[in-house]
Amino acid sequence: MKKSIKIVLVTILVFSSIMIFPYLNYSSQAFNRKNVSEEDYIQFSINGATYGDFDGDGNEDDIECYIDIHFNPEINRKKVELYVELHLPNGDIFIYKIMVNTFLTDVSLHLFFYNHAYVSGDYIIIAHIFLAQLGNYYTNCYVVFDPPREEEPDSDPIFECKLC
């Protein structure tokens, strides 16, 4: 990887860590001020994590997954911060922040990690969700999968999120 790309990735990682680590030092119970379980307000999961050629460049170096979020219908307007981490077998970590502001009860996000699958081994996608209403609620989920081969990416990593 070029030196400038490594510097940018390290800068993003450091900045993201500074933003995330204060939240991760608390247990989910510390965020739950009203002493109600997170399942009463937020349920979410990562589904369909796989790899392929999703950007049409001829290289199977892309990753996709779906994140399904279900909110309690009693909450009218939902404001959520979603942090998605992609951990590669070689120790590289990519962290992306998604802000969701919605009136919907069910939200499905289609995530694409273009040019991220470039080493073989187990990949881990971890999602952390923060709902800052009715107290602060936090929960997380993860999925592990294994793209079967190494593929040299043709360009820099790109992240895309679509609402389904």
Give the mean model confidence (pLDDT) for residues 93-109: 94
d(C-alpha 20, C-alpha 63), whole Å = 23
The kind and range of the H/E element at 48 are strand 42-52
Amino acid in the structure at residue 48: G
CA dihedral 148, 161, 8, 138 (to 10 degrees): -100
pLDDT of residue 29: 36
For the chain, give the percent of residues with pLDDT over 90. Answer: 43
Whole-number pLDDT of residue 84: 96
Would you state the torsion angle of the CA atoms of residues 66, 67, 72, 74, taken in this order, to the nearest 10 degrees? -80
The listed range with the strongest mean pLDDT (1-5, 96-100, 115-119, 148-152) is: 96-100
Query: Rounded to the nearest 5°, which phi and psi values hold at 19?
Result: -75, -35
121 three-state secondary structure: coil
Global pTM value: 0.72
- Looking at residue 30, what is its pLDDT? 36
CB atoms within 10 A of CB 121: 10
* pLDDT given for residue 92 in this prediction: 93
